[in-house]
Amino acid sequence: MAAIPSKTDVVVIGAGVAGLAAARRLSIAGREVCLIDASDDIGGRIRTDHVDGLLLDRGFQLYNPSYSEGINVLDLKALDVKSFSPGVIVSIDGRNYKMADPKREPSWAIDSLLAPVGKISSKLKFARYAIGLALTKSKPPTYDQRTDAFLRAKFGPDLTNKVLRPFLAGVFLEPELATSKRFFDIALKSFISGSPGVPSLGMQEIPNQLAAQLPSGSIYLNVTAQAVASTMVRTDQGDIRCRSVVIATNARSASLLIPSLKVPPSNAVTTWYHLADCPGSDLTDGKSTLVIDGKKFDGPLDDPSRPLVNTVVMTNAAPSYASNGRTLISSSAIGVHASAQSELQVRSHLASLYKVPTGNWTHVATYPIPDALPMMTAPHDVEQSVRLSGGVYIAGDYRQVSSTNGALISGRRAAEALLTDDL
């Protein structure tokens, strides 16, 4: 591994999507960039492991090809996003109900209307709200509130607790839905505007594409930043003198470098991967449709018999995620759960959700991720300042919105602020 340089124009700390986006923009503008990361590979939270012919993303993540920033900086054709079904399957009292936008899944219209998850009027009201969001180009409203308060008041407790809360808990990684309604609106609009899925070669292809656009030799891995000033970064491998710095680490690491920085807490998730003993065509009609438990939030939030917030047959959308025609299942629960007992509870819940025996399913891997997603507590500023002090800038999805698009935007904004300041 090459030694870090002693001097450069800009040091970018963190080789996740935000850091890579910042480094890309700065390199295009002609700045010499040194991008450092404490990990052994690029990507930050977006990593994919290759294990025995399987692609295992670290945590359940999707990419939406409609993301505005991704359209500008990624080669979407090469990324080859395999879209999931535009809807959910809600499991209630031993039966699964399909729910989706009838315009995109017309054969599901009757199931969507008759599912025992709230009044038909509430479902239609939610559909109108979602379509209205997709059509509007206005900025988020100045008033913000908790998502749960908005959903209950607007669409009623049944639809909220049996569909919206189970689904959104898996998006926000928090069950109370204390997340900002501004972020909810942004997320819902993206779901309506595009079809989220996974790149055919795994989620890490996103940071890989960004890295490929940087000058050769500008990324240094296994390098830990220890202290930051406007003209120098101290690392465990020596000092790097520079004209300016972009901090693009996760929130926790950023607060260690800048103790005065206010950062949000992180939401945790655990994702299990299993290989099913049946073909994917036997599960969820051969589609990659997210399955949620409509009863999960009817009782105690910590019900051990209902640990999962969602599960999906990955290979029904992306057969490349498992060689030799195998069926790969991804299932996630909020929080950190690493015990063997947790896996047994997950396996039991999967049997209930998919309505098939899971005793012979092969457990492939478990990924407990403490810092999976920054919390977007209401009120949340979706465009926080990227300037910290003279010569020091900050990027990260927690400064924008918790998504790949938010990370890409924040990285570009930090770089453009630096260029505007001519530092």
Exposed e or buried b for every residue in 68-88, given b needs 16+ CB within 10 A? ebbeebbeeeebebbbbbbbb
Is residue 299's pLDDT more than 80? no
Ranges 66-80, 111-125, 139-153, most confident: 66-80
How confident is the model over 150-166, as a mean pLDDT?
93
CATH number at residue 23: 3.50.50.60
pLDDT tens-digit readout, 391-401 = 999 999 999 99
Residue span of the structural domain in which 23 resides: 10-46+204-265+377-420
Predicted pLDDT of residue 1:
64
- Tell whether 112 and 168 lie within a shared domain: yes
Residue 1 placed within a domain: no
Choose between 383 and 34: higher pLDDT. Answer: 34
One-letter amino acid at 160 equals: T
Residue 2 placed within a domain: no
Predicted pLDDT of residue 138:
63
Rg (C-alpha) for the chain, rounded Å, is 22
- Tell whether 140 and 214 lie within a shared domain: no
- Tell whether 256 and 272 lie within a shared domain: no
- DSSP 8-state class, residue 259: T
pLDDT tens-digit readout, 1-22 = 689 999 999 999 999 999 999 9
Is residue 139's pLDDT more than 80? no
Q: Which of 353, 374, 395 is the last residue of a domain?
A: 374
How confident is the model over 30-44, as a mean pLDDT?
97
Residue 210 placed within a domain: yes
pLDDT tens-digit readout, 301-346 = 667 789 999 999 999 999 999 999 999 999 999 999 988 899 999 9
Residue 3 placed within a domain: no
Residue 253 placed within a domain: yes
One-letter amino acid at 402 equals: S
3-class SS at 133? helix
Residue 151 placed within a domain: yes
Residues 298 and 162: beta-carbon distance below 8 Å: yes
- Tell whether 273 and 335 lie within a shared domain: yes
Predicted pLDDT of residue 285:
93
What total number of domains does the chain contain? 2
- Tell whether 31 and 149 lie within a shared domain: no
How confident is the model over 164-182, as a mean pLDDT?
94
Residue 131 placed within a domain: yes
- Tell whether 366 and 217 lie within a shared domain: no
- Tell whether 249 and 359 lie within a shared domain: no
- Tell whether 36 and 117 lie within a shared domain: no
DSSP string over 395-417: --GGGS-SSHHHHHHHHHHHHHH
pLDDT tens-digit readout, 98-138 = 988 767 777 787 878 888 888 989 988 998 898 888 777 76
Residue whose C-alpha is closest to residue 84's, from 163, 169, 198, 172: 198
Percentage of the residues of the chain whose pLDDT score is greater than 90: 81
Q: Percentage helix, strand, coil, to 5, in the chain? A: 35, 25, 40
Q: What is the mean pLDDT of the chain?
A: 93
Choose between 235 and 112: higher pLDDT. Answer: 235
Q: Which of 374, 394, 412 is the last residue of a domain?
A: 374
Predicted pLDDT of residue 342:
94
Predicted pLDDT of residue 141:
61
- Tell whether 366 and 252 lie within a shared domain: no
CATH number at residue 127: 3.90.660.50
Percentage of the residues of the chain whose pLDDT score is greater than 70: 97
How confident is the model over 193-208, as a mean pLDDT?
96
- Tell whether 356 and 393 lie within a shared domain: no
Residue 4 placed within a domain: no
Residues 272 and 345: beta-carbon distance below 8 Å: no
Predicted pLDDT of residue 380:
86
- Tell whether 333 and 195 lie within a shared domain: yes
Predicted pLDDT of residue 245:
97
- Tell whether 154 and 242 lie within a shared domain: no
Alpha-carbon gap, residue 360 to 5, rounded angstroms: 53
10 phi and psi angles, rounded to 5 deg: -130, 135
Angle at 296 between CA 292 and CA 302, to 5 degrees: 130
